[in-house]
Structure 1
Amino acid sequence: MPITDAAKKQIAQQRKLFFKICFKCGGKNPISASRCRKCHGSQMRLKNRTLGAKK
């Protein structure tokens, strides 16, 4: 069932798309993180947020 309320949709997108992923262990971290919460590594990347069909 799709979300029709604009405010709820924006909250859902923030939770699903805006976070960092650790290169070392693959852990999911908040966008403000500078170190991984699982392995304490500092090599982080933003989640890929590109839209479109998968190949």
Structure 2
Amino acid sequence: MPITDVVKKQIAQQRRLFFKICFNCGAKNPILSTRCRKCHAKQMRLKNRTLGVKK
């Protein structure tokens, strides 16, 4: 069931799309983090946010 409320949709998108992923262990981290919460590595990347149909 799609979300029709605009505010709730923005909140859901923020939670699903805006975080960092550790290169070493793959853990999800907050967007403002500089080190991984799990393995303490500094190699982080942003989540890929491209929209489209999965193949």
Matched, 1:9 2:3: no
Q: Deviations over 1:3-22 (max 9, x none)?
A: 00000000000000000000
Normalised by the length of structure 1, the TM-score is 0.96
Q: CA RMSD in A?
A: 0.6
Normalised by the length of structure 2, the TM-score is 0.96
Following superposition, the deviation at residue 54 of structure 1 comes to 2.3
Q: How many residues align structurally?
A: 55
Matched, 1:26 2:22: no
Aligned residue type for 1:7: V
Identity of aligned residues (%): 80
Following superposition, the deviation at residue 53 of structure 1 comes to 1.9
1:44 is matched with which residue?
44
**Is there any run of 5+ residues in structure 1 with no aligned partner, and where?**
none
Aligned residue type for 1:4: T
